[in-house]
Amino acid sequence: MTWLDKIIGPRIPDSVLHRERRRFRRPTLLLGSAALLLLISIFFPYWRIRLYAPQYPGGLVAKVYVNRVEGDVREIDALNHYIGMRPLEEAAQLERSLSIILIGAMALLVAGAIYVHSPWAAVLSLPALLYPLIFLGDLYYWLWNFGTNLDPRAPLSSSVKPFVPPLLGEGQVGQFRVVAIWDIGLWLAIVASILIVVGLYHHRKAYKPFYEAYVRGQTA
């Protein structure tokens, strides 16, 4: 048995596939749907923050996509300048430049796990499974980095203490009330992670007996 055989696992006889079609179709549909949702999430914002103040009754909005920031970015940057915060465009430059490629690669790994009939299917799916947590962890890092490293030479630096905007929910930054929500893109990625967990459960149920028999046959 080569290393590639160990990764790919056994091929299922056509007669078994035909007889137990639902058993093998479930992990295919679940993992395939997860890969598709992950790709679709690219086109939607992952995180949104709105800042409210008397002079901005409608609020200022920043929408964070995996590869860009949209919304009232110019106005927010102008306000941030006075308290010594760097422009939003300077945050997560490496992550944003690689995001589309990395998400595409994760989706391909999940789709590839459909054709892997061994425990390696879980290994291939792991990056996509953990991706929402990785995104939130990276986002929190940059919120902390920008909010706690204010330029002391800024005109209003003394009026605002270092802060960390909320990942989710409400907070207060100076005179601004801020409201953060997880947006459509992140929810799609979370649903994809849930589908991966369920898909791997059904994948194990479907292929584990064949994989164990395959290993026994190769070592006999």
pLDDT confidence of residue 219:
66
Residue 57: predicted pLDDT: 85
> Encoding tokens for residue 15?
């007669």
pLDDT of residue 13: 84
pLDDT of residue 100: 98
In order along its 220 residues, the chain shows pLDDT tens digits of 677 777 888 888 888 888 888 999 999 999 999 999 999 999 999 999 999 988 888 899 999 999 999 999 999 999 999 999 999 999 999 999 999 999 999 999 999 999 999 999 999 999 999 999 999 999 999 999 999 999 999 998 788 889 999 999 999 987 889 999 999 999 999 999 999 999 999 999 999 998 888 887 776 5
Quick one: three-class SS letters along the chain?
CCHHHHHHCCCCCHHHHHHCHHHHHHHHHHHHHHHHHHHHHCCCCCEEEEEEECCEEEEEEEEECCCCEEECHHHHHHHHHHHCCCCHHHCCHHHHHHHHHHHHHHHHHHHHHCCCCCCHHHHHHHHHHHHHHHHHHHHHHHHHHHHHCCCCCCCCHHHCCCCCCCCCEEEEECCEEEEEEECHHHHHHHHHHHHHHHHHHHHHHHHHHHHHHHHHHHHC
Q: Are 114 and 27 in contact (CB under 8 A)?
A: yes
- Residue ranges covered by each domain of the chain: 3-216
Task: Yes or no: say if 52 and 177 are a contact pair by the CB < 8 Å rule.
Answer: yes
As assigned by CATH, the class of the 3-216 domain is mainly alpha
pLDDT given for residue 156 in this prediction: 86
b/e map 49-81, b = 16+ CB within 10 Å: bbbeeeeeeeebbbbbbbeebebbbeebbebbe
